Structure 1
Amino acid sequence: MVSEHHSSGDAPGVPARRAALRLLDAVLRQGLPLEAVLDRATAGIDRADDRALARAIAAEVLRRLPDLDALIDSATARPLPDDAKARAALRIALVQTLALGTPAHAAISTVLPLVDGGPRKLVHGVFGTLSRRGDALPDVPTLPDPVAIRWHAAWGDDMIEAAEHAIAAPPPLDLTLADPARTDDWAEQLGGVSLMPGHVRLPGGHVPEMPGFDEGAWWVQDIAASLPARLIGSGTGTAIDVCAAPGGKTMQLAAAGWQVTALDNSPTRLERLTDNLARTRLAADIVTADALLWKPAELADAVLIDAPCSATGIFRRHPDVLHRVRPSLIAEMATLQERILARAATWVKPGGTLVYATCSLEPQEGEQQLKRFLAVNDRFAVDPVRAEELPEGMVPDEAGYLRTLPGMLADHGGMDGFFMVRLKHIG
């Protein structure tokens, strides 16, 4: 159980709930990523466990938002406005008792101060009504309507059902190994399972304290996120990792023998990449620059683009994307991806490899992006992904690219949503 401690101006337990309220406001009203505002929202809270509690509450609200709102609406004479503070306070109180195991008295007593000067009686009354009725959240969360409609049009009923099951529980912890030859050894040491060489999956764990972390034997990386670099494979030539931070794919390429240039426009994120390289004792040339302005001195044998995207494919880990990503943002990201892909393609040697990937479940950022690129680039052709390059049971699309969806590897804990394609420069 996460502990709670007193913070100036509030009773014990209230500061974490007030921070959760700020986090939810930033995501739902301002459309900001939860992780990007975490430090600001929890400023003034000294204890790491209290900050973690604030994040856990906010993330679980976002995971369960449609079902929480349905409960709230069932206990009011007329629906509260979506942005009403009373609704926000009730979401926070209910998710604690119904999903996080907080006693009802603690949940409501630490939430009522959030509506001081407001509808305290309403919040207390609705919470009491739902508690007396013994209402519960469904085992499988409901996707927000706009997301369900969009994904249904793209992928159908089965995907929606799989996505709802996927978000019901935290995802497992995937590790990519620096030395795939030690897969069995590390799986045994860590008590995990391997779904392909160079991979170990665990139910969870405190990463810095796990065997192999300090020596840099592995790094955390969802198995889907590890596949784009695997499509490039081993080599001794030059490779450019575009939008490289925080460095998972850079480390994969370096461990596979490539001379890597890691390109990113974020100095802060590149600090993490530098730290990761130091821990894993791998080498790469780090370049801080905008991919739309920079160009290499020489053409590369391989270029990997893990492009900026809506990130809807990682909704299991970041449920905020279900609520803040709208069609306008998807269109904006698709335009940026198109520009980056067109520019980075000019950096590939004839005969070289170009891999394009996004952690998105939106066809505009994947399949449609590939179609647009090939329509104006006859110097490239799809180099089909082969089944033997993938975890057992996964197959590439007939067109040669790979689309990962909720439901894939479900019996083993699932995987993130990705699109990826390997292209060959045919001159």
Structure 2
Amino acid sequence: MAYLLLIYIFIMKIFLNFLIFSFIFINDVSAERIITSEDVQTNLDIVWICIATVLVFFMKAGFIMVEIGFTKAKNAVNAIMKNMMDFAVSSIAFWVIGFGIMFGTSNGLFGTDGFFLHDYADSRDPWLFAFWMYQLVFVSSTAAIVSGAMAERTRFFASLMFTVFMSAFIYPIFGSWVWGSFYHGGGWLENLGFKDFAGSTVIHAIGGWAGLAGTMVLGPRMGKFRRDGTINPILGHNLPLAALGTLILWFGWYGFNAGNTLEGGSKIANIMINTTLSGSAAAVSGMITAWFRFGKPDVGMTLNGALSGLVAITAGCADVEPVWAVVTGIVAGVIVVFSVIQFDRLKIDDPVGAVSVHGVCGVWGTVALGMFKTGEMFNLHNIGIQLLGSVIAFVWAFFVSYGIFMFIKKAIGLRVTEEEEYQGLDYSEHTAAAYPDFQITNIK
């Protein structure tokens, strides 16, 4: 795995050198024109957006590894296929309709032009194309969150169907309410004063609440709960892979958060510091909370603790002081442990803890921005607006997703059969095996 990372870093260096050369030295500025500081800054902005896009795209590998690591070996290929095709399907759906709905000229609720990038492509604006790519990897991340929550019992085609709805409608419509001003006008939630810098709500909570709807329609995995209602833990088969996936997600999070500046400037460093501190504080508090609760420093809870801190600081990473980033992370690490426990008690089966990490801690991070925003500490109006936006996000994502999942369930079936689930989705859905030479031998 270390060799793969070295190869990736080498490719990244070549790619970045190419971008810098392309945008700065062979920009279509004629030889007669003097290159101004504005030209340089514009090209720098484009390069930075492209770098951030590549970082967030690499998070896809992290999502795959986390899902594989926290689930059974017999479902690893299915996790790969879902996450791989989430990106492919999202790309087409977002190009066809999603981007236009999110950033087109708004009618007050969503955009009404820009489909197929038709109204933008003629301009050949490299900043716009870079921006489209950056928004695309956000869409794909939202779909990946849903995939993790519904792991090990969802039909592959049903999963792809929902990805179309998420990429074309659910995410873009809510995104237009909050981030519509990135290109055309302002969304109505944004106009009320709702803030979400990089997506604690727009991306993570939307994905988390959609995942919650999916798990409730699906029901728990076979064997998750005993006949008397007690919980039967289903352990993941590869915690080292889950840990590596978590670190890759953390690595990509620097592009996820800092990239939303949409410009190469001084804000980037402060955002990266806050991202680091919140993730670290949450990893520590999550580990300690699990240690007290279970009598041991639980690996899974520690990994999810780190992710919860990264999710929580995503909303306020550009607007809070480092000390409050630490506080945000500490609280997130505690919340995620008790949230996972509570969902189990409610018999809501979330194999990777996606609802707790992204949904619950996404809400906390959004409210924390209202509490800790620099210059407006504990402003009750801001806190109220942040709470309102979080409630609207839940209502929108959960109930719309629930309806879509019920439609898919009635139309083509959402869940695999008991026999297929017992065999494993690698075989029943893909006629494949992630570890074809692996077998369990009973030693007497």
- Coarse TM-score class (shorter-chain normalised): under 0.3
- Which structure ranks higher in relative contact order (CA pairs < 8 Å, sequence separation ≥ 6)? 2
Report the structure number with the largest CA radius of gyration. Answer: 1
Query: Which has a greater percent of strand?
Result: 1
TM-score by length of 2: 0.24
Greater percentage in helix: 2
